[in-house]
Structure 1
Amino acid sequence: MSGALTGPLAVLLVAAGAAIGAPLRYLTDRLVQARHDTVFPWGTFAVNMAGSAVLGFLAALPADQVVMTGAGIGFCGALTTYSTFSYETLRLIEDGARFAAVANVVAGIAAGLGAGAFGFVLARVVTG
């Protein structure tokens, strides 16, 4: 990341953002998944889409290293979860839910890109 914020301030900003994003990810995942009686990992899908939209929004704003470090890297990095996405996809395959596994990968990637683009466009519309 060219011109990225570094040093102790960057570490504190990432930690502060992550301290909000990680518990929010867990709580949102549990809330969403509890409302769906299916093998599809809707909770992880929801947090990944939300984080992609927020990061897309932030990316469209005028460059601000403090905001991008704390909110973009810290918050969005902790809110979204590629590792859980991968684990849940492998678990679906192991459980014989191959269609759900493929749907998780295709929908997760396509919708994540779409959510990021939506956030980007929304920021451009809001900021003029």
Structure 2
Amino acid sequence: MTALLVVLGAMIGAPLRYLTDRAIQTKHDSIFPWGTFTVNLIGCAVLGGLTGAAVSSPVYALAGTGFCGALTTYSTFSYETVRLTEQRAYLYAAMNIVVSVIAGLGATLLSYTAFHAAL
């Protein structure tokens, strides 16, 4: 049952990642990977909220592992950082690393705190 919930969540998260990434990236005339940054930030906020709300295991499997796991992407984040470095866009590569990590942790903490306080 848990595996099915993970698959169901991923069936929503994966296409949403692609569509969100494309929609956001086409609106920015920049080599910075805004689409990947956005989906990772959203995933951090959702996962922080789920953890702060102390949802049940089935809900966490569906929304946390399945949805957030498919929505967020560490591999694309890494690939895009390497690509920026190869293009000698060192400032963008460094910004991608630093801003993504700090913003992701901040979104997680803020969401966790808000949902945990609401209980």
Same fold (TM over 0.5): yes
> Partner residue of 1:74?
66
| Number of the residue aligned with 2:112 | 120
Q: CA deviation at 1:30?
A: 0.4
Query: Aligned equivalents of 1:30 and 1:125: distance in 2?
Result: 35
Within 2, Cα distance between the matches of 1:36 and 1:125? 36
1:53 is the counterpart of 2:39: no
Distance in 2 between residues matched to 1:38 and 1:63, nearest whole Å = 38
Instruction: Provide Cα deviations, 1:47-98, integer angstroms capped at 9, x if missing partner.
Output: 0000000000000113410011110000000000000000000000001101
Structure 1 runs of 4+ off > 4 angstroms?
A: none
1:91 alignment partner, one of 83, 96, 102: 83
Q: 1:10 Cα shift?
A: 1.2
Q: TM-score, normalised by structure 1?
A: 0.90
Query: Which runs of no fewer than 5 residues in structure 1 stay unpaired?
Result: 1-8
Equivalenced residue count is 119
Aligned to 1:100, which of 80, 92, 103?
92
Correspondent of 2:21 among 14, 23, 29: 29
1:13-35 superposed Cα distances (whole Å, 9 cap, x missing partner): 00000000000000000011011
Percent of paired sites with the same residue: 54
Question: Which digits, 9 at most, give the CA deviation of each residue in 1:80-128, with x for residues without a partner?
Answer: 000000000000000110100000000010100001011101212333x
Q: How much is the aligned-residue C-alpha RMSD, in angstroms?
A: 0.9
TM-score of the two chains, using structure 2 as the length reference: 0.97
Greater Cα shift, 54-63 or 67-76: 54-63
SS in 1 for 2:79: helix
